[in-house]
Structure 1
Amino acid sequence: MAASMSVTETGEFGLIARITARLGVQPSTLLGPGDDAAIVSAPDGRVVASTDVLVEGRHFRRDWSSAVDIGHRAAAANLADIAAMGAVPTALLVAFCGPPDLDVRWAEELTDGLVAEADRAGAAIVGGDVSASSVLTVAVTALGDLQGREAVLRSGARAGDVVALAGRIGYAAAGYTVLSRGFRTPKMLVEAHRRPVVPYPAGPAAAKLGATSMIDVSDGLLADAGHVATASRVGIDIDRDAFPLPDQMRDTASALGVDPYTWILAGGDDHALLATFPEGAQLPEPFRIIGTVTGGAGVTVNGKSYGDGQVGWDHFR
């Protein structure tokens, strides 16, 4: 095995060279890394853009997740936002800040995770920046193409619509609880925390079939449904019975003394897509109905308020 080398020993431009050597391209990439800026095609004439930042100790822990895992998570958090607008992801820009004594292989493996997740969504990393920092930080900007469709906003839900979900929910939160209790199994839940499985094609498919609103579930199902309810000035009622419990989640919750529906209703980081559709509309795969839009306000579960109102993730709470 080759001797380890820190990013200080590699140097800024050596690190950039190592990272860019691991990148691929997509048809939308007209000019990748190497100049002052990249060039990405935008046939629609509009570009969908989103930015997220992951900070060590706040969003990830290196003793819980590998560099590759963290790369997947960082890319997925942004690519899911693009899909939630009904757009197709095209490109990522990545800013990486790390301590000078960080092993350069960690940065390379982070890149591998970013590239692999971007490839899943049909996007490419086209540029970014690196800097020294006492706190390991990864900031990602994602770009997307609407392909001639109108964007699906949070503000379009109407009373009488059905509420539907595509993707897993509660798995990542369950994995977080498992890890925080000092365990590493069950693997299915732990891996869900480390690497979200995002249904990227479901976003554009929902847009094509008339979704009236959509959002990436990153902060928790009830919290993000609340964002739609507020933006649309409607109420949303979630059907708890729409979420059958997988055996491993049920068993783990029992062993840890946790209500598993806390993970499902208030846990985040699965990056499922929540959308509303007119009643009777055809739903694209893999969306399934989990509730209804009402003429009221706020979010309820089976017609009743849930918990103390503090549901989901808040960066400053």
Structure 2
Amino acid sequence: MEPAIDDIFEPRTSTWQYIVADRATKVAVIIDPVLDYDPARNAVSTESADGLLAVVREKGYTVDRLLETHVHADHLTAAKYLQARLARHQKRPEIAIGKRIGEVQERFAGRYGVPRGEYEGAFDKLFDDDEVFRVGQLEAKAVHLPGHTPDHMGYLIAENIFCGDSIFNSDVGSARCDFPGGNPNDLFRTASKLLALPPTFRLYTGHDYPPKTPRDTPQAWSTVAEQRERNKHLAAGTAEHDFVAWRAARDANLPEPRLMHQALQVNIRAGSLPRDGLLRVPVRVEGEVW
């Protein structure tokens, strides 16, 4: 029983959003939805999320859950907005994430001065590792995939795993591990777990950054067999110590994500905006400025 999968690419943050539905019951989940944010105007809008709602309406789906793979640092989640809009016409869907979210919330709440009352209980469902749940008549499993972040989860539904930033398409490779709690050894072991799945299983990634050649269009998934053979960082035969050394050197020179400070503050709140309407952005002082 394979699900119906709609993959919707958000080009400003290069994010893949997914609607996964049981064909028989039309019960669906939405994975990693994007809330639009324009840093030039400090303005939030809902064009991308409204596009997801249009697909749900067109196909007659009932959304049971909004699934987050992790606290994203490169885009704001639209989970709270979608929850509120969907609740007007159906049972209020749960916002779900992995059970380690509390550690991440505490870390970034302290950094940005987020009041406890604005993030505690923000998520309705916290998955245990390997917890089985259902999407309509389909069996699904929440799988812990640490490395990019410590709280990172993937969602295995039939022969598809929605693995967020755990692994990218084979010509892109792997995600950074330099965020607090990130760890390249953990990411290598996560990739090994994913690549141990049957060769025909599909790995749906959280982002795509297609190179100019040989392709220039975003790709949502690749098979385990393709990743084993071609992943530029993690193909079969890659030694853990080589990957860890390369990843650490690479991450040391990466700039921080463009929307990192805004995204972390909103995403630990499961997509709610600050009650005072203010997002706090730290300033880095270089040299003597006064």
Question: What TM-score, normalized to structure 1?
Answer: 0.25
Query: For the pair shown, which has the larger CA radius of gyration, 1 or 2?
Result: 1
Q: Which has the higher contact order (CA 8 A, sep 6+)?
A: 1
